Amino acid sequence: MFMNLLKTIKNNLLHPYALLMYVLFIKVTAFQIVIFDNKSFLHLLFVEFPIWALALTVLIILFKKRTWLAIWLYNLGLSTLFIVVMYYTRYFSTVPSYYDVKQIYQSHSVGGTVALLGSPFDYLFFLDVVLIIPLIWFFTKKSYQITFPKVKHWAIGLSSIGLIMTIIAFRYPLIDVSFFAKEHGYIQSQFVQAFERSLGKAFATNDAITDKELEELKGNHYVPFAKHSTFGLAKDRNVFVIQVESLQEFTINQKVNGQEITPNLNALLVESAYFNNVYQQIGAGNTSDAEWIMHTSLYPEGMDPTVNVIDDTEIPSLVRTLKANGYGTSTYHADDIEYWSRDKLYPALGFDYIYTDEEIPNEKEIGFGPADEVMFEYVESELPEQLESHEKMYSNIITLTNHTPFDMPKDYQYLDLPEDYQGTYVGNYLQAVRYTDEQIGKFIEHLKETGIYDDSIILIYGDHSGLHGAPVTEKDEDILKEILGHDYNLSDRFIIPVIFNAPGIFNGETHSQLGGQIDLMPTLLNLLGIEHQTQMMGHNLFQYKNNLLGMRYYMPGGSFISDKLMYVAPSAKLPSALYNRKTMKKTKNTERMQEKVDNTLLLLEHSDYIRHQQTDQ
């Protein structure tokens, strides 16, 4: 009897289904360790593993005639998914949701960077597909059949555990995707996100707050918009907004090897108001989210590119407000209009003229589109006719060349970099920034030569960081330390330059109060002396000195940036951290920290409330 028992146990332990589960558990464990640094056996066994195992078990039950093919395809798909998640996390420093993975068709934007993210060891995730599963099939095909009676009790058990853990996950608030996935399971986090998104609520609240209450949350005394000291200073001027791809603030007024990285932008500062303490606030939509924030002064969706949750509904926007005040409006971006669903975004915002890769000549191609010089020349060619048709113009111009992996042809490398910078990610980035700066300078000269410049206000800002994630190596960090004089930190990464250029109005002033991309639209409208009909989440940077900023996606949910502090909430791999924002040294000054967390979440919730009102109309 004892020998029969041992034989039964051995047969069960060596049953092909059991062997497949061992392999799957090892794969899921490797994924959890790499992505979340999670080594808890109990968490793996009862939270993460059951859902993946259940999916495989269901396939085995459904595909009775093609069982092994289904098993092989499942593991191949799982290995591919894990690799995609791993690479995405290395570049963006956040764990992707199914929203992000389904955007894989847009991967050409970082296609050249993929080679910088990988390691040969990553492909051990495919070891089971090419070796282990074929071996299990070969050695067990004559002895065992994987049939429904053999696995039904496993299916029942796994279903029960998976259902319980998923129900538990739904009882917790989803503030940060990565942290939620670590605590409650990656698949469970996808279920919760899909559920919340299907209800159309995400973080949204139904409570409205006034402009006065909004400023009080940020620590300011409210002043009506039309009573600001800058109201109408640039009234009736032409407006040019230049959103510069991947431009970070540290490049401004910075020299390398005795050469200015941005000589043309530096020269422009003489007749500008320069804000050197403005943070990016984009979400998963990256450049398109920067466009959204600029034109609505609302926070982006965060987990999903904002363009994915809008249609062609007419959204109250900077564009529509300017049109109501006599402006013709145009937007230029030398890329596919369907990329990041701009075919939906631009009509929703209300542009009169839309120019993308269908109109802008595909000449002097760099990266995945025409060089910036081609795009600016196209803008110059269209302006005369537009100014004949409209008394004044709003032109939204988005550069493209300064884009990862920043691989510039030699003829377009204007900097003479030190030898140890050559071929580095930072070195390539500096060359790309310098090229785009040159094209902006030529465009400004054109505006001066044609007499447009003196009657214009020009807003130039960066859309997001260029130097982040796995492509930034230790050598790159050493170069950045040499340039900056300190270790490259989160503020260096997130701060973008903001230049309001207006000849006759500004005379080289620099403003260092805290700001965010969400403040650009209200600041511009105030200078133009135009009031927006719907509430904006940002404020006039010239008027208010205090601020409180939220950021989705690139900082864990619950994080905030205030005048003195930067709080980084716990993430998938790291505990929470509180920094003195000026020194970026960790601090224990937790005074009013929870209040700031709560106020930041309220700002995000209210922004979502406004956005849902607008997009659901």
Which residues face 457 on adjacent strands?
A: 239
Q: Find out whether 352 is annotated in a ligand binding site.
A: no
pTM of the model as a whole = 0.83
Whether the upstream peptide bond of residue 405 has omega within 30° of 0, thus cis, is yes
Question: 450 phi and psi, to 5 degrees?
Answer: -95, 0
Q: What is the pLDDT of residues 507-561, one digit of tens each?
A: 999 999 999 999 999 999 999 999 999 999 999 999 999 999 999 889 988 899 9
Neighbouring CB atoms inside 10 A of 147's CB total: 13
Q: Find out whether 403 is annotated in a ligand binding site.
A: yes
Distance CA 312, CA 344 (A): 5
pLDDT at 116: 59
pLDDT at 8: 43
pLDDT at 398: 98
The owner of tokens 């929203």 is 99
Name the CATH topology of 233-543: Alkaline Phosphatase, subunit A (3.40.720)
pLDDT at 6: 40
Q: Find out whether 446 is annotated in a ligand binding site.
A: no
Neighbouring CB atoms inside 10 A of 121's CB total: 8
Helix runs in 221-331, H state only: 263-268, 287-296, 318-324
Q: Which residues of 25-49 are buried (b: 16+ CB within 10 A; e: fewer)?
A: bebbbebbebbbebeeeebbeebbb
CA 278 to chain centre: 16
The owner of tokens 């009657």 is 455
**What's the angle, vertex CA 280, arms to CA 614 and CA 526, rounded to 5?**
60
Q: What is the full DSSP assignment across 37-77? A: ----HHHIIIIIHHHHHHHHHHHHHH-SSSHHHHHHHHHHH
pLDDT at 287: 94
CA 318 to chain centre: 22
Q: Find out whether 464 is annotated in a ligand binding site.
A: yes
Long-range contacts made by residues 358-363, C-beta under 8 angstroms, separation at least 24? 360/332, 360/334, 362/334
Q: Which residues contact 474 (CB under 8 A, 6 or more apart)?
A: none
pLDDT at 117: 63
According to DSSP, residue 223 is labeled: -
- Mean pLDDT for each 10-residue chunk of the chain (617 residues)? 42 70 92 88 89 88 85 92 86 72 53 62 88 82 60 74 84 75 86 70 59 96 98 98 98 97 98 98 93 97 82 90 98 88 92 96 91 97 97 97 94 96 97 98 98 98 94 96 97 98 97 98 98 96 97 90 94 88 90 89 90 71
Burial class (CB in 10 A: 0-12, 13-18, 19+), 539: buried
Distance CA 275, CA 230 (A): 15
According to DSSP, residue 179 is labeled: H
CA 260 to chain centre: 29
Sorted by where each begins, the domain ranges of the chain are: 2-198, 233-543
The owner of tokens 């984009």 is 282
Q: Which residues contact 536 (CB under 8 A, 6 or more apart)?
A: 296, 297, 298, 518, 521, 522
Tokens representing 330 are 């145009």
Question: 279 phi and psi, to 5 degrees?
Answer: -100, 145
Helix runs in 365-519, H state only: 372-389, 425-449, 474-484, 490-494
Distance CA 456, CA 447 (A): 9
Burial class (CB in 10 A: 0-12, 13-18, 19+), 291: buried
What are the catalytic residues?
287
Q: Which residues contact 13 (CB under 8 A, 6 or more apart)?
A: none
Beta strands in 302-391 (DSSP E): 327-333, 353-355, 365-366, 369-370
Tokens representing 528 are 């133009």
